[in-house]
Amino acid sequence: MENSAPIASAEVVQTSDSEALADLFDEYDKASLALSPLSKAYRGIRDEDYARWGDLSSAADRRSEALLQSTAAKMRQNFDPDRLSREDALSFRLFDAMAKRSAALYPFRDYGYIFDQMNGAQSQLPAFLINIHRVTDETDALAYVSRIEGLGPAIDTLVAESKERAANGIMPPDWVYPYVISDIENLLAAGNDNAILEDYRDKAATIDGDAVAEGAAERAWENSARPAYERLLAEMKRQQAIAPAQDGIWRFPQGAGYYAALLRNYTTTDLTADEIHQIGLREVARIHGEMRDIMAEVGFEGSLQEFFDYTRTNDRFFYETREAYLADAEDKLEAMEAKLPDFFATLPSDPLVIKPVEAFREQSAGKAFYQRPAPDGSRPGTYYVNLYNLKDMSKNELEALAYHEGLPGHHLQLSIQTQLGEVPPFRRFGGVTAYSEGWGLYSEELGKDMGFYTDPYSDFGRLGMELWRACRLVVDTGMHHKRWSREEAISYLTENTPNPDGDIRKAIERYLVYPGQATAYMIGKLKIMELRDRARQELGEEFDIRAFHDVILTNGPVPLSIMEENVDRWIADEKRGS
């Protein structure tokens, strides 16, 4: 009896702490959502905010950061991770790490580009309406019209912020502006047949009722959105005339500190830019060796660079129609889905669809990307492919790209994460780039372990995609740390990869406006491979690939150091149980 009392007391304390910690995370989630109608919509929440864009000013960013840091301070003050359950202690550490990464970047909060060809608001706001704003009844339709009306103030707010940043020397390079201007002019030139109004009419046609007056969307566009886009166009042309010719962010005030903070944020490591650069050079050399093996297998005579030129220019390696590309991608993903149970104990519960990037933004958008499903099942996971130029979309890369963005890559990972109902919302809906993109790149190689890439040229394409990510370590650090020019980086990729010229140029332009992010892929993948190899060696015949994948996936996104701890703990548990 004397021994049972302290145990019961500890259990009561732990249970009480667990409930209180869960309440704190729920309060944070609700307060965060209250600050962001767009986040609500991504979650599938439709309430009184569904008609609003919310506050897109820098003041809103400050409120969001203050909420995060005050919640983290309260958590640290009121909870001791050593007294929490294993799962709660993990949540504590993940929230603490998220807050610290955000705090490290906060001094550079005004260094990002508001309008660029990758994530610029000029295309992202229309894309949100088209892809996220659902219309199932008259209220939703009215909300859509309100958001078209609200585009005017929203864009004007962002233009004012862009002007202020430009005045402080924070501007994208001069070559970015034609892309942004093209996006804007595409919308304006289409008049009332623009992508937003076409989407609204298609969605409104599916509902009964006449709550939305005829022509209301067109009037909202004409009276609010269109004039704001015209003002945006004028501002982008003004900035273009004074934009810098230099490319990397080393040119910013405190540019070196900004880039170092970005690398720590995206890789979740303390690797320096020079160390990441060297890892990239090492991996490029390794992959080149594996490519030479395939070159010998297919009987190509010549240098590796000549083989690159052959695969990037010969018509046999490219599709003639968009429909053919999409059909082959569907077939590959269907075959992959059938094999998933052999390698995964936990499977995605959301459907996956493939869509071409919309015409209004395909000229500026990246080659492929993924949009996660809504947690309530109302929106599937979507794999977008950019088919603007089929010569940029090699047949050789189709498999690896589909496995990365779809299955077993981002769709499997994010569907599982979204359905982790027992973990706090910040873990279900947040992200760690090295984790998610490391998983995507790992998934490409996993496809080979699963028996795919039977065509040696497709396997060459897989290696080409991995080489691409290795080269990113070199060129991203080259441009933002070593002060390479855009043309120097393009020349490096042209010499060292098989990718076509358009693909190379678009990629370099992406890394320049999205500094540091591209380094996360290879750094994350190398860690997952390292941990899998360690588990195989430690567990021998008892190693279960399905269980290993559960350890990686069912904890949700984590920094790489915590991923390593999770795997090492699992290995130790398996050894004790065997």
pLDDT digits (tens, 9 = 90+) for 223-246: 999 999 999 999 999 999 999 999
Q: pLDDT band at residue 16, thresholds of 50, 70 and 90?
A: confident
Mind listing the pLDDT tens digit for each residue in 240-282? 999 999 999 999 999 999 999 999 999 999 999 999 999 999 9
Predicted pLDDT at 2: 33
What proportion of the chain, given as a percentage, has pLDDT over 70? 97
Phi, psi for 151 (deg, rounded to 5): -60, -35
Give the residue with greater pLDDT, 362 vs 227.
227
Parallel, antiparallel or unpaired: strands 381-385 and 352-356: parallel
Question: Quick count: other Cβ atoms within 10 Å of Cβ 455?
Answer: 13
Rounded Cα–Cα distance for residues 105 and 64 (Å): 13
Q: Which amino acid is at 325?
A: Y
Q: Where are the alpha helices (DSSP H) in 298-394?
A: 304-313, 322-339
Q: Which residues of 518-556 are buried (b: 16+ CB within 10 A; e: fewer)?
A: bbbbbbbbbbbeebbeebeeebeeeeebeebbbbbbebb
Residues pairing with 384 in the sheet? 355, 369
Rounded Cα–Cα distance for residues 374 and 43 (Å): 5
Whether 10 shows a pLDDT value over 50: the answer reads: no
pTM of the model: 0.92
DSSP at 373:
P
Token pair 């269980």 is at which residue?
Answer: 547
Mind listing the pLDDT tens digit for each residue in 159-183? 999 999 999 999 999 999 999 999 9
Give me the residue spans of the domains in the chain.
Answer: 4-108, 121-245, 258-524, 525-577
Question: What is the rounded average pLDDT for all residues in the chain?
Answer: 94
Predicted pLDDT at 298: 97
Mind listing the pLDDT tens digit for each residue in 466-517? 999 999 999 999 999 999 999 999 999 999 999 989 889 999 999 999 999 9
Q: 456-480 and 273-297 helices cross at what angle (nearest 10)? A: 160
Angle, vertex CA 373, rays to CA 368 and CA 379, nearest 5: 110
Q: Which amino acid is at 316?
A: R
Token pair 């077993």 is at which residue?
Answer: 408
> How many residues are recorded in the chain?
578
Phi, psi for 53 (deg, rounded to 5): -90, -25
Q: Which amino acid is at 347?
A: L
Predicted pLDDT at 214: 83
Q: Which residues of 218-231 are buried (b: 16+ CB within 10 A; e: fewer)?
A: bebbeebbbebbee
Does the CA dihedral 61-65-71-74 come out positive or negative? negative
Report yes or no: 444 and 403 within 8 Å, Cβ to Cβ: yes
Residue 355 parent element (H or E): strand 352-356
Peptide bond into 408 cis (omega under 30): yes
Q: What is the mean pLDDT of residues 98-120?
A: 96
Does the CA dihedral 406-36-108-160 come out positive or negative? positive
Taking Cα atoms as reference points, which of 132, 118, 115, 119 lies closest to residue 199?
A: 132
Predicted pLDDT at 289: 98
Mind listing the pLDDT tens digit for each residue in 397-432? 999 999 999 999 999 999 999 999 889 999 999 999
Token pair 């600050």 is at which residue?
Answer: 35
Q: Which amino acid is at 156?
A: D
* Chain centre to alpha carbon of residue 176: 21
- Quote the tokens at residue 135: 């219309």
